[in-house]
Structure 1
Amino acid sequence: MDLENPDDLAIRHADASDWHVLVGADSIAASGDDARRASIRRWCEQGSVLLAEDASGPLGYIVLEYTFFEQGFITMMMVAPSARRRGVGARLLKATEAACTSTKLFTSTNVSNHPMQLLLRRVGWSPVGLLHGLDEGDPELFYLCPGAQPA
């Protein structure tokens, strides 16, 4: 993908049959994690997935749900290891912001996930909270999308 001309990257809603190809773009699912594979399949069947792809195939995906106090919440974002640091994550975040139908859009990431934290800050997301207890010894940082309407 050419960052100067990102038009060769397409983002579209995944359909139920796309889950097979998304497994290959997800390093955890590709390593044989059956729970992740099942989640990808369920997300695709529910119509919750935006898929980033180019001529070579899928480069990543993002899951948008409305189960967080009826606000938009990015449950998962995964960029294929070979496509990282090429703008795919930023484009997925922007596409999700445009697709979100609630007034607020949130996401979260572990304190240990420095690349995701850097990406979120780079595209303007604001940290809004910290939650202990989900992953032992690795708190969850919550972020709010810059386009969200203030309460």
Structure 2
Amino acid sequence: MDAVSLGDFVVRRVSESESDALVGIDVVAIEGDTERQASIRRWCQQGLVIAAEDASGLLGYCVAEYTFFEQGFVTMLMVTPSARGRGVGHRLLDAVAASCTTPKLFTSTNVSNQPMQRLLQRAGWSPVGLLHGLDEGDPELFYLCRPQVGPMRP
């Protein structure tokens, strides 16, 4: 994916060397979650991360993997608190869908995460299932986006 200008910010693929910068904008990683920090580094090494940035720096990032029943799955979507409500998450989801190499692209969020559910609905994703047992007392709601699949991309 080449950098794509989307108004006041750009969406682009992240290089491996930028993992520390991503850790610095991830609210979970900043709080010292070493598992999240390691995941961010692994995702960057594997070339799975796209990010949105403006003149002030990184605004958010999104990770798509292809290990969910051999379909695309948005593993992580993180937007810095100061950039929320500006369309960053929506543009990141659109970019992932545009670059998806499978007929289906899924994601999930906790039932308690109402902002993410609203974002997914605005972005045209459809709820497709509910899974109990991952987070006790807070089921996981799964969503589906049917991206326009083009030629296979590396």
5+ residue gaps, structure 1: none
Partner of 1:127: 127
Match of 1:37, SS state, is helix
Partner of 2:112: 112
Given that 1:71 and 1:104 are in contact with CA atoms closer than 8 Å, whether structure 2 keeps it comes out as yes
5+ residue gaps, structure 2: 150-154
Partner of 1:139: 139
Higher helix share: 1
- The CA RMSD over aligned residues, in Å, is 1.4
**Residue 35 (structure 1) shift:** 1.0
Partner of 2:62: 62
In the alignment, the residues of structure 1 paired with residue 130 and residue 64 of structure 2 have an alpha-carbon distance, to the nearest angstrom, of 21
Partner of 1:37: 37
Residue 47 of structure 2 is aligned to residue 47 of structure 1: yes
Q: How many residues align?
A: 145
**Residue 76 (structure 1) shift:** 0.5
TM-score of the aligned structures, taking structure 1 as reference length: 0.92
Which piece of structure 1 moves more, 139-148 or 9-18? 139-148
**Residue 30 (structure 1) shift:** 1.1
In the alignment, the residues of structure 2 paired with residue 131 and residue 6 of structure 1 have an alpha-carbon distance, to the nearest angstrom, of 35
Partner of 1:7: 7
**Residue 148 (structure 1) shift:** 6.5
| Partner AA of 2:26 in structure 1 | D
In the alignment, the residues of structure 2 paired with residue 70 and residue 147 of structure 1 have an alpha-carbon distance, to the nearest angstrom, of 15
Structural mapping, 1:89-108, within 5 Å: 89-108=89-108
Match of 1:129, SS state, is strand
**Deviation readout 1:86-110 (Å, 9 max, x if unpaired):** 1000000000000100010000000
**Deviation readout 1:10-30 (Å, 9 max, x if unpaired):** 111111111110111111111
In the alignment, the residues of structure 1 paired with residue 116 and residue 67 of structure 2 have an alpha-carbon distance, to the nearest angstrom, of 21
**Residue 7 (structure 1) shift:** 2.2
